[in-house]
């Protein structure tokens, strides 16, 4: 997936809370904010979590204490029959519909919807079989790297690389690494895979954001990079764009006071709109890396820069000296930088004090 402007994914995630009307309202809020896409999550709770699976610390704080992870997830499933109507509504509102699959069956279902690309969540970066299946769809991938070491990111990319160049799954991890060692195979990732730096804490404290890691991902893997944000507010995603992020993903909700694991670390609709506006402004302000006068500067350049002017009356044939030449804004004539070259030259005509040379 390649983009010229910053691609903004409004992450609805599980913030529909199992309410169909709220899911459609989230699509509307994302569209109203000017996001490029709205994204949900597609999973079967029983396939995703075992009965004994614990909840993360932030989930324990934002959901009922006696509720298991499985029970929490069952209440947050997005029913399969909602997907197509939500997609149609998103398209009607002028934005893309996306969803993240957390198992191969859910991915197979999403394949029937012909999504433009797939977002691989941070938790599945080390899920070799699912990652391989994502890549075999042939769709562009946006891969989040929360919780990962650099070596785990490389391993995940090696799996994707194998899937892009082989029809059958690898017989061993050795086969994956043998594929990764081939430059031609690694080249298949370019234009096909984007990496999102991410910190998987909800909300992420500022001292754990580590935006410079985004630079490292770009430098090491030579792929398009972006940022999946879990901080409170809009400062960090805007800063990430200023630092080079071409994709931004941000959770949003209709109301931060709603029950559920992700609401408290999500933006509300007016905040999402503000973030989108700021990102668009920053992306426009970044420019093209060239240093040259802008179109609006030429008039100011002429008015603001100083020129060589006669400090006193100068007769034809008289030498220019430091006593009869000075600098001032004249709007025309030689620029002040020519001062030293002008000294000692002969005046070709008469000048009155204040005349531009």
Spell out the residues 6+ positions from residue 240 whose beta carbon is closer than 8 angstroms to its own: 197, 211, 214, 226, 227, 229, 248
Q: Contacts by 2-6 with C-beta closer than 8 Å and gap 24+?
A: 2/191, 2/224, 3/224, 3/246, 3/247, 5/280, 5/283, 6/241, 6/245, 6/246, 6/247, 6/248, 6/279, 6/280, 6/282, 6/283
* Contact between residue 230 and residue 201 where contact means Cβ atoms under 8 Å apart: yes
What was the pLDDT predicted at 316?
A: 97
What was the pLDDT predicted at 137?
A: 98
What was the pLDDT predicted at 263?
A: 87
What pTM, to 2 d.p., does this model score? 0.87
What residues in the chain have per-residue pLDDT under 50? 1-3, 51, 55
Domain positions in the chain: 7-285, 292-357
Task: Please name the CATH architecture into which domain 7-285 falls.
Answer: Alpha-Beta Barrel (3.20)
Residue (of 334, 325, 330) closest to 353 by Cα position: 325
What was the pLDDT predicted at 77?
A: 85
Does 292-357 match 7-285 at the fold level? no
Mean pLDDT over all residues of the chain? 92
Render pLDDT for 61-99 as a digit per residue (tens, 0 to 9).
555 655 566 677 777 889 999 999 999 999 999 999 999
What was the pLDDT predicted at 56?
A: 58
What was the pLDDT predicted at 3?
A: 45
Residue (of 191, 188, 43, 184) closest to 117 by Cα position: 191
Class for domain 292-357, per CATH?
Answer: alpha beta
What was the pLDDT predicted at 69?
A: 65
What was the pLDDT predicted at 222?
A: 97
């Amino acid at each position: 997936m390649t983009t010229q402007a910053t691609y903004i994914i409004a992450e609805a995630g599980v913030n529909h809370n199992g309410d169909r009307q709220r899911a459609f309202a989230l699509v509307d809020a994302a569209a109203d904010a000017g996001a490029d896409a709205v994204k949900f999550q597609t999973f079967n709770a029983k396939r995703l979590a075992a009965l004994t699976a614990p909840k993360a610390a932030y989930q324990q704080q934002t959901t009922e204490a006696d509720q298991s992870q499985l029970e929490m997830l069952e209440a947050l499933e997005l029913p399969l029959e909602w997907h197509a109507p939500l997609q149609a509504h998103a398209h009607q509102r002028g934005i893309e519909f996306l969803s993240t699959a957390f198992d191969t069956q859910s991915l197979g279902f999403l394949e029937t919807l012909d999504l433009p690309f797939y977002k691989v969540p941070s938790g599945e970066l080390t899920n070799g079989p699912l990652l391989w299946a994502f890549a075999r769809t042939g769709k562009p991938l946006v891969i989040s790297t929360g919780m990962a070491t650099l070596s785990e990111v490389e391993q995940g990319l090696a799996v994707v690389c194998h899937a892009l160049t082989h029809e059958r799954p690898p017989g061993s991890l050795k086969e994956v690494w043998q594929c990764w060692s081939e430059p031609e195979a690694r080249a298949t990732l370019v234009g096909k895979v984007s990496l999102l730096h991410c910190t998987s804490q909800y909300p992420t404290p500022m001292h754990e954001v580590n935006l410079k890691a985004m630079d490292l991902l770009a430098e090491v893997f030579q792929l398009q990079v972006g940022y999946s944000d879990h901080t409170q507010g809009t400062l960090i995603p805007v800063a990430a764009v200023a630092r080079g992020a071409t994709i931004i993903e941000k959770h949003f909700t209709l109301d931060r006071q709603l029950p559920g694991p992700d609401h408290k670390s999500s933006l509300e609709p007016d905040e999402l709109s503000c973030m989108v506006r700021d990102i668009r402004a920053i992306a426009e302000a970044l420019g093209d890396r060239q240093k040259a006068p802008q179109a609006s500067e030429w008039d100011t350049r002429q008015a603001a820069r100083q020129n060589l002017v006669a400090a006193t009356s100068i007769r034809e044939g008289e030498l220019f000296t430091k006593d009869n030449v000075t600098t001032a804004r004249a709007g025309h004539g030689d620029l002040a930088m020519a001062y030293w070259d002008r000294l000692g030259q002969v005046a070709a005509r008469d000048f009155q004090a204040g005349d531009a040379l």
